[in-house]
Amino acid sequence: MAPAATPRVRLRLYVTGGTLRARQAAARVRALCDERLGRDYELVVVDVLDQPEAAEAARIVATPTLVREVPLPPRHIVGDLARTDAVLAGLDLADDAALAALDAR
């Protein structure tokens, strides 16, 4: 199945270089979204060392920072995303029916 033309959730993950923390954060958000949203999301990883002006425009201070751009309001989830509950709450996915299924397993 191809990704939806207009994904329900659009995410941007700001990281500093190819550090372990950056790779872990990217893997965690992918795993979570694949599970909860199937293909109905878009994730772009931005390296602030390559694109400082993008970090400037989005006023990013810490890395990693996961920004939910769509839907509004904008959400910033700061850190390596190890705290899954906080990530799900930040993305408004915590009360998804899928969560119950996850817990049941």
Partner 1 sequence: MAAVTVTKLATGIAGFDQIARGGLPRGRVTLLEGAVGTGKTVFACQVLAGGIADHGEAAVFIACDEPPAEVRRNALGLGWDIAAWEMGGQWAFVDCTGEPGRETVVAGAFDLGALLARVEYAVRRTGAQRLALDSLDGLFAGLGDGHAPRQEVVRLLAGFRALGVTSVVACRPDAGSLVRMAGPAADNLVRLAAARGGHSIEIVKFRGAPHQKGAHTVVVHAGEGMAVLAPRSVDSRHVQRGDRVASGNPVLDRMAGGGILPDSLILVAGPPGLGKTLLATEFLAGGAGLGERCLAFSFNESRARWVRNAAAWGIDVEKMEADRRLAIVAAAPQGARPDEHLLMLQALIDRFEPRRVVVDSLSSLRGAATRRGYQAFAAQLVALLREKGVIGLVTAAAPAAGPWHPWDLALASSADMVVLMRYLEAEGEFQRAVAVLKQRASWHEHGYRAFTVDDTGMHIGRPVRDAGALAGEGQAAAWEETLAAHEPRGVPGR
Residues near partner 1 (CB under 8 A): 14-17, 21, 25, 48-49, 52-53, 55-56, 59-65, 73-84, 86-87, 89-90
Closest distance to partner 1 from the beta carbon of 54 (Å): 10
Q: Which residue has the tokens 């989005």?
A: 58
Cβ closest to partner 1, residue 2 vs residue 61: 61
Instruction: Specify the 3-state DSSP secondary structure of 78.
Output: strand
| Both tokens assigned to 42 | 């878009």
Burial class (CB in 10 A: 0-12, 13-18, 19+), 101: exposed
Closest distance to partner 1 from the beta carbon of 2 (Å): 30
Q: Which of 74, 82, 73 is nearest to 29 (CA)?
A: 82
Cβ closest to partner 1, residue 42 vs residue 63: 63
Cβ closest to partner 1, residue 3 vs residue 74: 74
Is 51 in contact with 17 (CB distance < 8 Å)?
no
| Both tokens assigned to 15 | 């990281």
Closest distance to partner 1 from the beta carbon of 10 (Å): 16
Cβ closest to partner 1, residue 11 vs residue 65: 65
Closest distance to partner 1 from the beta carbon of 22 (Å): 9
Q: Which residue has the tokens 């872990």?
A: 24
